[in-house]
Amino acid sequence: MDPKNPVLFALNNHYIKIILGTVKLSLEGSGMSKDVPVGLAVAEKLVGLILIIIGAIVAYYSINPPAGDISQFSGMFTAAGLVIVAIGIFLVIAKTE
C-alpha cells in the first residue's frame, strides 16, 4: 500500500480510497474510477437518515390520531410519512455520483 494514497476498504479487486477530501471508488483492472466529494456522500446519507426518522414519526403518530377534526385525514398523513421513509431509504442506499 502506498502511504500517500491510503486504502480505507479493500475486498478482492474493489477498493475505496480517501484522497485529499474525495472518496475514490475503483475497480482495479477495469479502468473504472469515480471521485466523489466526501461531504456530498456524507450529507446524502445523513439527510436520508433524517428523512427516515421524520417519516417514521409522522407515520407512527398518524396511524392512531386523537379524536377531532383532523382524524379524518390520518390516512393521508400516514401515506405521506411512508413516502418520506421511502425517499430516505432511497437516499441511504443510493450510490453517490
pLDDT tens for each residue of the chain, 97 residues long: 455 555 455 555 555 555 555 555 554 544 555 666 778 888 899 999 999 999 999 999 888 877 776 778 888 999 999 999 999 999 999 876 6
Residue 94 confidence (pLDDT): 85
Please, is 77 exposed, middle or buried when counting C-beta atoms within 10 Å of its C-beta (0-12, 13-18, 19+)?
middle
Residue 11 confidence (pLDDT): 53
Query: Nine-digit cell at 51?
Result: 428523512
Instruction: Indicate left, alpha or beta for 20 from its phi (over 0: left) and psi (-120 to 50: alpha).
Output: left
